[in-house]
Structure 1
Amino acid sequence: MTYIIAILGLVVVLGLALLASNNRKQVNYKPIAIMIVLQLILAYILLNTKFGLVVIKAFAGVFEKLLKYAAAGVDFVFGGIANDGQAPFFLTVLLPIVFISVLIGIFQYIKVLPLIMRAIGFVLSKVNGMGKLESYNAIASAMVGQSEVFITVKKQLGRIPEHRLYTLCASAMSTVSMSIVGAYMTMIEPKYVVTALVLNLFGGFIIASIINPYKVDENEDILEVQEEEKQSFFEMLGEYIMDGFKVAIIVGAMLIGFVALMAAIDSVFDLIFGVTFQHVLGYIFAPVAFIMGVPWAEAVSAGGIMATKLVTNEFVAMIQLGKVQEAMSPRTLGIISVFLVSFANFSSIGIIAGAVKGLSEKQGNVVARFGLKLLYGATLVSVLSAIIVSFIL
């Protein structure tokens, strides 16, 4: 029965993507089928084999070390501000982003990161049936973030046609940046974070290939990566330190606003209707949770967390998940955890449109016009990744 529901879920997701397709006749199903099979194989390796366990432990171990190093800096500045036995979210989860941002800056500066992004992007382009630009952009989004990625291709941003721009933005919304990954690993199991990162990479191409199918002319498939302005090493360090701190402050501010707003709305709904707003959202999203492989008895609770992520952001949803995870089965916890690891929410529309608009006003307006379709596609990517995991768990 588990596999039947998973297959049904897969058909529903692909069907919903096809429903929103710009050109159903142009959809190339061969690379889509290959990528779905690759997703299943990679999910199985990561979650069900000793090799996968070693890979995840190594990946998690690296971030565990990085968070310890980051803690040394945080403790030096904020030591003694917390009571014994307490771990304030801002200090332990958000501020380490500053240190990880610095490491990304160093790898960018010594040209290691661009080399990795180009190499993996080239390999991906051979699998996904899309261009080098789209493949590079997907990897770059995962490395440097959904806003910063557009700076790396700003040389050609103004010349990119609308259909290719949609794919670039869809990749940016479906993936998550490395600077945030460490924060996620403090909130949900690292193995689900790593699995989601891999699955979303392919899922973004699968859904974009259906919603927005096109063929890239080899003569037009040119990748022009913007070289960063020449800076001294310490100028670069200062810039990335401030960028990381800005991200931590912005996420912290959004959490304060969204968590407070959700608490207020829940209170009003409970007062008027005798049920919380999240519970109402849970009923709306319960069918989606069910086709993702969540047992019906847990579908309402899971659906509420999924809706919270869509309406607010993944951090708020992960906090909510932490409060109810003891009541969830390991299978449901794994499926929902994978669903949460992406930037697919309403605020991301503004972030991506704003980032593009800052580099090209015309293209920023284009992104704003297809913003809802962008979110629709990115949400389907998250659902698809969760369904793939449901085959394995």
Structure 2
Amino acid sequence: MQYVISIIGIFVVLFLAWIASSDRKKIKIKPVITMIVIQILFSLLLLNTQFGLIITKGIATVFTKLLELANEGIAFVFGGLANEGESPFFLNVLLPIVFISALIGILQYIKVLPFLMKWIGFVLSKVNGMGKLESYNAVASLMVGQSEVFITLKKQLGLLSKQRLYTLCASAMSTVSMSIVGAYMTMLEPKYIVTALVLNLFGGFIIATLINPYDVNPKEDLLEIEDHEKQSFFEMLGEYILDGFKVAVVVGAMLIGYTALIAGFNYVFQLLFSISFQELLGYIFSPIAFIMGIPFSEAVSAGSLMATKLVTNEFVAMLDLSGGNYQFSERTMGILSVFLVSFANFASIGIIAGAVKGLNEKQGNTVARFGLKLLYGATLVSVLSSIIVSLVI
């Protein structure tokens, strides 16, 4: 029965994307079906095979080692700040982002990342029925981040149609940056994080194909990646280190504010209505949790976490999931973990619109105008990825 619900859930998600479509006559069904099949195959590979276990363990081992190395620098600067046996979230989870950001900068500088982004994007363009630019952008968003990716597309931004701009922004919101994957792995099982990264990549194309269908003229699909070779190595390294620190501080500030606000809302709602704010959100989101394959007995609690992620950010929800007193089954934990791995939240609308506006004011205003539709699509991507996982675990 649970698999029947998941299959129905896929059709519900596709229908919700279809009703929001800007031009239903232009929707290409074949790429949608192809990519759903690819999602299922990747889920089976990563979660249900020995080879997939080796891949996810290998990736987890790499990030574990990176976190250990990052702690060398953190201990040098902040050693003795925490009491013995204590594990402050900012020091152990957020500050390693600085080191990983520096590594990404080095890989970018020596042309490894641009090479991977260009050719993986080229392969994806043969599957998704979209342009090379859209495919490149999806891979680049995953590797360098949702705001930084637009810097590499600075030359093209002013030339893009509203439809293509939507797809680029949707990909940026549906994925997560590699610089913070290590932080996620301290809170969730690595196998679900790796699976979510892959599924969201294809899910972004599926939902964008339905919500925002259009044809790309090959002559207008020139892919010129912005070249930053003018910087010296140490200029680049300093820039990426500072960018990583800014991300850590911004995420930390967001967590302080949002966690306190949620606690405040819970207190007020408990006083006035004898139900916490998160519980109320849980009831609202429980039907969505149910079609994702989560049992109805766990749907309200799961819906609460889903809503928390949407109105705050994924870190707040992950902390709640990993540190809360939830008695979720292993299957529900897997489905929820995949849902949480994305930037689909209200704050991301401002982040992406601001990043684009900083490069091209007119296009930034365009992004701001379709912000809610962007969040709607990115949330459907997370729901779809979770449903796909529910079919194989």
| 2:319 maps to amino acid | I
- Give per-residue Cα distances to partners, 1:199-253, cap 9 Å, x unaligned: 0000000000000001111111111211015111111111111000000000000
Q: Could you say what secondary structure the match of 2:65 adopts?
A: helix
Aligned to 2:66: 66
Structure 2 counterparts to residues 97-176 of structure 1, below 5 A: 97-176=97-176
Q: What is the aligned-residue RMSD (CA, Å)?
A: 0.7
Which residue is equivalent to 2:340? Answer: 340
CA distance in 1, matches of 2:223, 2:194: 28
How many residues are treated as equivalent by the alignment? 393
Note if 1:300 corresponds to 2:300. yes
- Displacement after TM superposition at 1:326 (Å): 5.0
**Shift, 1:304, TM fit:** 0.1
CA distance in 2, matches of 1:231, 1:149: 18
Partner of 1:250: 250
Alignment of 1:373 with 2:366, yes or no, is: no
Give the alignment's TM-score, normalised by structure 1: 0.99
1:266-285 matches, cutoff 5 A: 266-285=266-285
User: 4+ runs of 1 displaced by more than 2 Å?
Assistant: 323-326
CA contact (8 A) 2:39 2:202 kept: yes
Q: CA separation in 2, counterparts of 1:130 and 1:219?
A: 13
Q: Percent identity?
A: 71
Q: What amino acid does structure 1 have at the position aligned with 2:12?
A: V
Shift of 1:25: 1.2
Alignment of 1:142-221 (within 5 A): 142-221=142-221
SS in 2 for 1:225: coil
**In 1, Cα distance between equivalents of 2:28 and 2:170:** 18
Deviation at 1:84, TM superposition (A): 1.5
Q: How does 1:216-227 map to 2 (within 5 A)?
A: 216-227=216-227
Q: 1:56: which partner in 2?
A: 56
Amino acid of the structure 1 residue aligned with 2:106: I
What residue in structure 1 maps to residue 383 of structure 2?
383
**Distance in 1 between residues matched to 2:165 and 2:261, nearest whole Å:** 33
Question: Are the equivalent residues in 2 in contact too, given 1:170–1:377 (CA < 8 A)?
Answer: yes
Mark the CA change 1:125 to 1:302 in structure 2 (over 3 Å): closer, same or farther: same
SS at match of 1:219: helix
CA 1:325–1:143: 2 relative to 1, 3 Å: farther
> Residue 262 of structure 2 aligns with which residue?
262
- Aligned equivalents of 2:366, 2:227: Cα separation in 1: 25
Q: Secondary structure at the match of 1:126?
A: helix
Q: Is the 8 A contact 2:109 2:229 kept in 1?
A: no
Give the Cα–Cα distance (whole angstroms) in 2 for the partners of residues 122 and 156 of structure 1: 17
Supply the distance in 1 between the matched residues of 2:362 and 2:225 (Cα, whole angstroms). 20
- Give SS of 2:220's match: coil
Shift in CA distance, 132/105, structure 1 to aligned 2, threshold 3 Å: same
- 2:324 — aligned with what? 324
- State how far apart, in whole Å, the 2-side matches of 1:200 and 1:87 are: 31
Distance across 2 between alignment mates of 1:381 and 1:4: 20
1:37 is aligned with what amino acid?
Answer: V
Q: CA deviation at 1:338?
A: 0.2
The SS at the match of 1:153 is: helix
Gapped regions of structure 2 (runs ≥ 5): none
Identify the range of structure 1 (323-332 vs 257-266) with the bigger mean alpha-carbon deviation: 323-332
2:312 maps to: 312
Q: What's the CA shift for 1:344?
A: 0.1
AA at the equivalent of 2:267: S
Note the alpha carbon deviations across 1:278-317, whole angstroms, 9 max, x for none. Answer: 0000000000000000000000000000000000000000
Deviations 1:119-177 (A, max 9, x none): 10000000000000000000000000000000001011101000000000000000000
* Aligned equivalent of 1:39: 39
Alignment partners' CA distance in 2, 1:6 and 1:84: 46
Residues in 2 aligned to 1:346 and 1:299: alpha-carbon distance in whole angstroms: 22
**What is the match of residue 230 of structure 1?**
230
CA distance in 1 between partners of 2:82 and 2:220 (Å): 56
Contact 1:150-1:356 at 8 Å conserved across structures: yes
Alpha-carbon separation, structure 1, partners of 2:101 and 2:319:
23
Give the letter for the 2:222 counterpart: I
**Amino acid in structure 1 at the alignment position of 2:112:** V
Q: Give TM-score scaled by structure 2 length.
A: 0.99
Encode CA deviations 1:328-368: one digit per residue, 9 max, x unaligned: 10000000000000000000000000000000000000000
* Contact kept in structure 2, 1:325 and 1:333, CA below 8 Å: no
In 2, Cα distance between equivalents of 1:309 and 1:144: 22
Give the CA deviation at 1:73.
0.5
Mapped partners of 2:252, 2:133: distance in 1 = 33
